[in-house]
Amino acid sequence: MRISQYFLSTLKETPQEAQIVSHRLMLRTGMIAQTTAGIYTWLPLGLAVLKKIEQIVREEQNRAGSLEVLMPTIQPADLWIKSGRYNDYGKEMLRITDRHEREMLYGPTAEEVITDIFARYIKSYKDLPKRLYNIQWKFRDEIRPRFGVMRGREFLMKDNYSFNLDYESARASYQAMLDAYVRTFARMGLTAIPVRADSGAIGGTLSHEFQILAETGESQVYYDEAYETLAPGEITLEKLQSLYAAADEMHKPEDCPVPLEKLKTARGIEVGHVFYFGTKYSIPLGAYVMGPDGKQIPVEMGSYGIGVSRLVGALIEANHDEKGIIWPESVAPFKVGILNLNIKDEATNKAAEDLYHKLLNQDVEVLYDDRDQAPGAKFADMDLIGLPWQIIVGPRGVAQGRCEVKNRKTDERFDLSYDDAIQKIRKA
Ligand code: ATP
Ligand code: MG
């Protein structure tokens, strides 16, 4: 992609309304534009990142044996009346009346819709277990939308729903999701700590929130220092029930089993939530299957969310410096940027264009700064948008047939021939 043909709108100034670094950087890089409070338009650069994150989430859901569906954003109120949540949900729910005076709503979550689908299609224990998920926009009329996409009103969520015959297999679904979450966040270079969460009034339920530690997080997290050395494969439900980690009101100092010198505390951003709730929705919505003995059994359910759009902000909170964003390779909007330092110099122009075409031909995602602008502005923009690699092509190097490859994160620089530069980027 050539910047001259792209939609790049970077700002030098810090937007007044943004209180945290990720929000500031998303506005300054032109990733998003606010359309109205808590509702954003995703501009090309932001959408590229959102899609990368979405795809990682999708691949790990599929790997864990879940099936993707796509549920509507608009839901009928009837289903929520049946589940008993219609009145409880309160003002966070955006309620809509259609032309026939039917009550509708913009879905804040989808337990009711998916349970109803299950009830209509799946009738036998032989079809269990099932896990169905979708990645769809949700709406919650948050009282205080803030921090940009971190707490929006409209936001993109992956929500998975598990259906099992009994408690034992429901636990296995829960564990499969724990594993999928650990892998998902690891692929983005994030360590997320699963902490005990409020599992509501119903006894016997299980719930964990995945928190990324960051100073600007909205939750206060308390955890056993043993978490810091936990390997990914060790995050099992048994382990989580024996190791202590809790956020905010779930943490009761007087009941905390961890001695003070081993208790760590930090701010956290909740990026995911796993929840087992048994037959809370299957009974009222009629999701029963025929069991091996011919009797009708209400299915055991769980739900599992990931804040896909919130993750964009969380990733920036975890990966930036004073110059801008530093994207991990797996979610970067482009892998490499080419900076043509003088588009009026014929030799420089030819070298940069050649590099651009060769990278494109090898399927490398490349953003080419071919604008007629001063080098200083190009350096600043490229650092701000934070692509993992830069190739700097200027008249002095070109005279010797060379360019400079820069790693955005480490600031390491390599003086290379054009072919070596391409190899370096490809192998990275
Ligand atoms: P929070 O405590 O942050 O309000 P929640 O408990 O209401 O979250 P869930 O209902 O479990 O959230 O939703 C699943 C995931 O969706 C959350 O873990 C979070 O990452 C994301 N999420 C929830 N609300 C928002 C929001 N207003 N904006 C962006 N992402 C959100
Ligand atoms: Mg909430």
Q: What DSSP string describes 318-365?
A: HSEETTEE---GGG-S-SEEEEES-TTSHHHHHHHHHHHHHHHHTT--
Q: How far apart are CA 312 and CA 21, in angstroms?
A: 12
64, part of any domain: yes
Asked if 83 contacts 132 with a C-beta cutoff of 8 angstroms, the reply is no
Residue nearest to atom 2 of ligand 1 (CA): 270
250, part of any domain: yes
What pLDDT, on the 0 to 100 scale, is given for residue 243? 87
Ligand 2 center to 191 CA (angstroms): 22
Q: How far apart are CA 141 and CA 81, in angstroms?
A: 19
Q: How far apart are CA 115 and CA 301, in angstroms?
A: 9
Residue nearest to atom 22 of ligand 1 (CA): 307
Asked if 316 contacts 54 with a C-beta cutoff of 8 angstroms, the reply is no
Residue nearest to atom 29 of ligand 1 (CA): 151
Asked if 369 contacts 3 with a C-beta cutoff of 8 angstroms, the reply is yes
Lowest pLDDT segment from 35-49, 223-237, 289-303:
223-237
Ligand 1 atom closest to Cα of 210?
18
CA dihedral 80, 82, 86, 88 (to 10 degrees): -130
Same domain, 160 and 241: yes
Ligand 1 atom closest to Cα of 218?
3
Asked if 239 contacts 223 with a C-beta cutoff of 8 angstroms, the reply is no
187, part of any domain: yes
Ligand 2 center to 107 CA (angstroms): 13
Same domain, 280 and 380: no
Q: Provide the 3-class DSSP secondary structure of residue 293.
A: coil
Of all ligands present, the nearest one to the C-alpha of 307 is: 1
Same domain, 156 and 100: yes
Q: Provide the 3-class DSSP secondary structure of residue 156.
A: strand
Q: Count Cβ atoms below 10 Å from residue 205 Cβ, excluding itself.
A: 15
326, part of any domain: no
For a pLDDT cut of 90, what percent of the chain falls above it? 87
What pLDDT, on the 0 to 100 scale, is given for residue 229? 87
Cα–Cα distances in angstroms (integers) from residue 19 to residues 23, 35, 310, in the given order: 7, 18, 16
Same domain, 158 and 29: yes
Ligand 1 center to 142 CA (angstroms): 10
Ligand 1 atom closest to Cα of 140?
27
Residue nearest to atom 14 of ligand 1 (CA): 305
pLDDT at 108 over 50: yes
Ligand 1 center to 218 CA (angstroms): 11
**Closest Cα partner for 170 from 292, 247, 284, 282?**
282
Ligand 1 center to 250 CA (angstroms): 17
What mean pLDDT do residues 177-185 have?
96
Write down the residue that tokens 């670094």 correspond to: 21
Ligand 2 center to 72 CA (angstroms): 20
**Closest Cα partner for 281 from 38, 43, 114?**
114
What mean pLDDT do residues 265-282 have?
96
Same domain, 296 and 160: yes
- Tens of pLDDT, residue by residue over 120-151, are 999 999 999 999 999 999 999 999 999 999 99
Same domain, 44 and 133: yes
Residues with a CB atom less than 6 Å from ligand 1: 109, 140, 142, 151-152, 155, 157, 270-273, 305, 307, 309-310
Same domain, 364 and 286: no
- Tens of pLDDT, residue by residue over 7-54, are 998 988 888 889 999 999 999 999 999 999 999 999 999 999 999 999
Q: Which of 321, 349, 375 is the last residue of a domain?
A: 321
Ligand 2 center to 151 CA (angstroms): 9
Residue 363's domain comprises 336-427
What pLDDT, on the 0 to 100 scale, is given for residue 202? 43
Model confidence at 199, pLDDT cuts 50, 70, 90, reads low
Mutate to test the pocket of ligand 1, among 134, 156, 273 (most ligand atoms within 8 A of CB): 273
Q: How far apart are CA 53 and CA 64, in angstroms?
A: 17
Q: How far apart are CA 46 and CA 29, in angstroms?
A: 9
Asked if 270 contacts 211 with a C-beta cutoff of 8 angstroms, the reply is yes
Same domain, 196 and 151: yes
What pLDDT, on the 0 to 100 scale, is given for residue 234? 84
Peptide bond into 129 cis (omega under 30): yes
Q: How far apart are CA 92 and CA 398, in angstroms?
A: 59
Residue nearest to atom 6 of ligand 1 (CA): 273
What mean pLDDT do residues 92-103 have?
98
Mutate to test the pocket of ligand 1, among 34, 211, 310, 317 (most ligand atoms within 8 A of CB): 310
Model confidence at 200, pLDDT cuts 50, 70, 90, reads low
195, part of any domain: yes
Q: How far apart are CA 319 and CA 333, in angstroms?
A: 14
Same domain, 8 and 113: yes
262, part of any domain: yes
Q: What is the CATH number of the domain that holds 366?
A: 3.40.50.800
Q: What is the pTM of this model?
A: 0.96
What mean pLDDT do residues 246-251 have?
88
DSSP string for 390-407? EEEE-HHHHTTTEEEEEE
Of all ligands present, the nearest one to the C-alpha of 142 is: 1
> Greatest CA span in the chain, whole angstroms?
82
Q: Provide the 3-class DSSP secondary structure of residue 171.
A: helix
Model confidence at 114, pLDDT cuts 50, 70, 90, reads very high
Model confidence at 201, pLDDT cuts 50, 70, 90, reads very low
Q: What is the CATH number of the domain that holds 27?
A: 3.30.930.10
Ligand 1 atom closest to Cα of 305?
14
35, part of any domain: yes
For a pLDDT cut of 70, what percent of the chain falls above it? 98
Same domain, 297 and 374: no
What mean pLDDT do residues 343-365 have?
98
Q: Which of 321, 351, 374 is the last residue of a domain?
A: 321
Mean of per-residue pLDDT scores for the chain: 95
pLDDT at 62 over 50: yes
What mean pLDDT do residues 310-323 have?
97
Residue nearest to atom 4 of ligand 1 (CA): 151
Q: Count Cβ atoms below 10 Å from residue 133 Cβ, excluding itself.
A: 29
Ligand 1 atom closest to Cα of 153?
27
331, part of any domain: no
Asked if 427 contacts 417 with a C-beta cutoff of 8 angstroms, the reply is no
Same domain, 181 and 224: yes
Ligand 1 atom closest to Cα of 311?
20
What mean pLDDT do residues 116-120 have?
98
Q: Which of 289, 321, 353 is the last residue of a domain?
A: 321
Ligand 1 atom closest to Cα of 272?
18
Same domain, 310 and 362: no
Residue nearest to atom 25 of ligand 1 (CA): 151
pLDDT at 416 over 60: yes
- Tens of pLDDT, residue by residue over 362-376, are 999 999 999 999 999
Helix orientation angle between 308-318 and 44-63, rounded to the nearest 10 degrees: 110
- Structural domains in the chain (count): 2
Ligand 1 atom closest to Cα of 159?
14
